[in-house]
Amino acid sequence: MCGIVGYIGNRRAQPILFNCLARLEYRGYDSCGIAVSGGGVKLYKDTFRVDEMARTVPRLSGMAGIGHTRWATCGEPSATNAHPHCDCSGNIAVVHNGIISNFQELKLKLIAEGHNFVSETDTEVLPHLIEKYYNGSLEAAVEAALGDIKGSYAIVALKSGETKLVVARKDSPLIIGVGDQESFAASDVPAILDYTNRVIYLEEGDIGIMTNAGIKIKRNGTEVDRKEHKIPWSVEEVQKAGYEHFILKEIHEQPRVVRDTLVGYYQEAELIVDLEWMRDAGIEAMLILACGTSYHAGLVGKYIFEELLRIPVRVELASEFNYYPQTLAKTMAIVITQSGETADVLRATRRLQEVGCRVLAITNVMGSTISRLADQTIYTSAGPEISVASTKSFMAQLVTLYWLVMSYSRADVKRLDDMLMGLRQLPNKIQQVLDNKSSIKRYGKYLSGYENVFFIGRGLNYPIALEGALKLKEIAYIHAEGYAAGELKHGPFALLGRDTPVVAIVAKDDTYEAMLNNIREIKARGAPVIVLFEEEDGTVGKIADFVITVPKVDFRFSPIINTVVLQLLAYYAAKERGCPIDFPRNLAKSVTVE
């Protein structure tokens, strides 16, 4: 989604703003812009890429400025609708993420008062409101302007003649980076890691005043203290480190991610979160909410929670949960969101809390909105994920769910010990998949020649079929459907034929025989079948056209190994098709609109 940056200090703002904006490109955008204060406000914006824009803008000497990458929601992508937006005089400039729900009403009022609007955006009301309320203090004017608006925002405002930036947030992320006689504003940590790893997370409703001399944060007019945090991520982690794409690097980081996640949990305590209250509170059911890839992690969670905790688990798409009545008696909720900013998940969380449901969040981003909203938070240790499509953060979610259920389970010790042993072996097993990627590459290339592909699985691997299909769709632009293997005959069989390859995930568990029958049925309809299977047992190879052999693991962890294979399959298909793999069209890393 949109990215925000701001800089004030003793260096020229222009190159810093462009550098920070480039670090936010992974979020997805269709236009960008900067405004630099110095001899008036100098404004440049267009539907360019950031590097193109950086080449176009003349040298500006100002040492304070703001910048934005826009992902159009309100008005088409265009130079006029791009941020920053200005007031009538062109002296006040604002960048904004979020949605101002009452902007039409405010705009009409402002027009009646003589303000001139040029764009279709909701954001443009902000500089005009600030202009209206300005009486010598930018922060007072920003505060008054925010008092008029309904909706969500993260904003940075500047005014020519005032050596400060004013920032504010509500329901949209914004951080302040602390430097030496300089400070930074950003919607996301990677933007500023080249300059500082000291960060202040703004709370809902905070107004920050950034000057050369330091940072003040106010709430309802009174100064408040906000803790400074040290970000453990390095700049290298947000770079490609020799890989052709971020996603390839992130796929290869997964052995490390699994290892770090487990080590982190071991070190912290035996239980990563204390769930004993669940027993005390008589919790009888669990609800898992998420979107997209995180939803698929939740579906795997359902299988393992039900097996090991013996309680009913519902998994819902957060975007659907928000629109129908709920029965949530004696239910505990887990929300899964790598970004911690997905609007549907945040809304669902608030709804849950309104009805007294306790919420445990699993997220990868420290200080994200969900971590401040939820009753308890578990951070996954995936590190920064730059590619829009989730890979390593999904892996970290899966491992966290396994660990969570094992921490809480009262299953017999032998079973848990076996699982623990299996978990510990996973980094090496994943590495084996990565070391043998040349065969997967071959099948990725093969799939790249088709326009429709089915992915099927059963049990624990059904969600992985959904995830494999999602990855292929989003990065290789191939239409793909993930199906529970037994469901194909209830409709999709009508589509099967030579031009519709099927990727079947076979596990040596209770579903094995049924899966083989499903594959036979598919073969009888002429569709080519690629099977993922842990060993060549003489049967699978006879039925399938191709077999990708995966390392053998405890069947409960087969989703982890199969995930890595399907990620690589999608990657190589996308590469063969020449797709912009890290930044697929129309997609954004965090989806902050419902």
Residues within the interface to ligand F6R (CB under 6 A): 291-294, 337-339, 342, 345, 389-390, 470, 474, 590-591
Q: Which of 2, 20, 291, 579 is catalytic?
A: 2
To the nearest whole angstrom, how small is the minimum distance from the Cβ of residue 323 to ligand F6R? 18
- Residue 188 or 474: the one with the smaller Cβ distance to ligand F6R is 474
Q: Are 257 and 564 in contact (CB under 8 A)?
A: no
CB of 389 to ligand F6R, least distance (A): 4
337/558 with CB nearer ligand F6R: 337
| Beta carbon of residue 385, minimum distance to ligand F6R (angstroms, whole number) | 8
Q: What's the sign of the alpha-carbon dihedral 456, 458, 463, 468? A: negative
Least distance CB 99 / ligand F6R (angstroms): 17
The contacts found for 117-121 with CB under 8 angstroms, 24 or more apart, are 118/80, 119/75, 119/80, 119/81, 119/85, 120/74, 120/75, 120/76, 120/80, 120/81, 121/74, 121/75, 121/81, 121/83, 121/85
Q: Reply yes or no on whether 302 is catalytic.
A: no
Q: Is the dihedral of CA 276, 278, 279, 280 positive or negative?
A: positive
Buried b (16+ CB within 10 A) or exposed e, 557-581: bbbbbbbbbbbbbbbbbbbbbebeb
CA distance 207 to 111: 27
**Of the residues 42, 45, 392, 589, which is catalytic?**
589
The distance of closest approach from Cβ of residue 130 to ligand F6R in the complex, given in angstroms and rounded to an integer, is: 31
Work out how close the CB of 176 gets to ligand F6R at its nearest, in angstroms, rounded to a whole number. Answer: 22
- Based on CB atoms, which residue is closest to ligand F6R, 149 or 470? 470
What sign does the dihedral 390-394-396-397 (CA atoms) show? Answer: positive
Choose between 128 and 473: whose C-beta lies nearer to ligand F6R. 473
**Alpha-carbon gap, residue 557 to 548, rounded angstroms:** 17
285 CB-near residues (< 8 Å, 6+ apart): 311, 312, 313, 314, 330, 331, 332
Residue with tokens 């812009």: 33
Q: Considering beta carbons, is residue 273 or 591 the nearer one to ligand F6R?
A: 591
Q: How far apart are CA 110 and CA 112, in angstroms?
A: 5
Quickly count: other Cβ atoms within 10 Å of residue 124's Cβ: 29
DSSP helix/strand/coil, 288: strand
Q: By C-beta, is 162 or 344 nearer to ligand F6R?
A: 344
**Which residue of the chain is nearest ligand F6R when measured via CB?**
292
Minimum CB separation from ligand F6R for residue 271, in Å?
24
User: Of the candidates 343, 330, 345, which has an alpha carbon nearest to the alpha carbon of residue 294?
Assistant: 345
CB of 87 to ligand F6R, least distance (A): 34
**Closest of 181, 171, 215, 177 to residue 195, by C-alpha:** 177
Taking the least distance from each CB to ligand F6R, the nearer of 72 and 593 is 593
In sequence order, what are the beta bridge partners of 455? 482, 503
The reply to whether 589 belongs to the active site is: yes
SS3 of residue 83 by DSSP: coil
Give the gyration radius of the chain's Cα atoms: 25
In the numeric block, the tokens 């996603």 are attached to: 247
* Residues with catalytic roles: 2, 589
